[in-house]
Amino acid sequence: MGYPNDVLTDDEVVVVHQHPHVKALLAPGLALVVATALGGWGLAWSTGDSVSDGVATTVAVAVAVVWLAALVWFVAKLVSWRTTHFVITDRRVMFRQGILTRSGIDIPVLRINSVQFRHGLVDRILRTGTLIIESASDDPLEFEDIPRVEKVHALLYARLDDRLDDEPDRFPKA
């Protein structure tokens, strides 16, 4: 079945299942492109007639090390991005992350006190942001790089409102 369907309870329905915004991959992706371009220029320069074999070898090793570091950073971020899940069901909010060591949190919808979002200019342009959930007993939890954060905020608030409407009156009217 695959995640998140294999961790759902009976009759639980997934409303939102997202990975962080692709913005999280921009810095390592740009670093890989720059390392590739500079590495290509460095290798082309080092094969010139005026460069000794020792210098050419040193440049080639340096280019390889820098390029491999950029590649490892990009691949690590890509795998981390792919293994991070933000899920809203009709009963709870789930957040899972990690590659070798996984961690996660589940927040029952009925335990949520408030839902907020925050995004700056760049986040607004990219349609992403930070979702802040305050539950009954914990400090507020911040989930960064949530795609379409305003829509997710509204959806989560609607789920919370629906669940509260389904509850019997806790305080009967006198």
> E strand or H helix at 34, and its extent?
helix 26-46
Q: How confident is the model at residue 172 (pLDDT cuts 50, 70, 90)?
A: very low
| Tens digit of each residue's pLDDT (9 = 90 or more) over 56-113 | 888 889 999 999 999 999 999 999 999 999 999 888 899 999 888 889 899 888 888 8
pTM higher than the cut 0.75: yes
- End-to-end CA distance of the chain: give it in Å, rounded: 50
Q: Tokens in use for 31?
A: 């670093």
CA distance linking residue 163 with residue 47, whole number of Å: 69
Among residues 124, 117, 119, 114, the alpha carbon closest in space to that of 157 is found at 114
C-alpha 153 chain-centroid distance: 16
CA distance linking residue 134 with residue 43, whole number of Å: 53
CA atoms within 13 A on the CB side of 91: 8
| Tens digit of each residue's pLDDT (9 = 90 or more) over 105-153 | 998 888 888 889 999 999 999 999 999 999 876 688 899 999 999 999 9
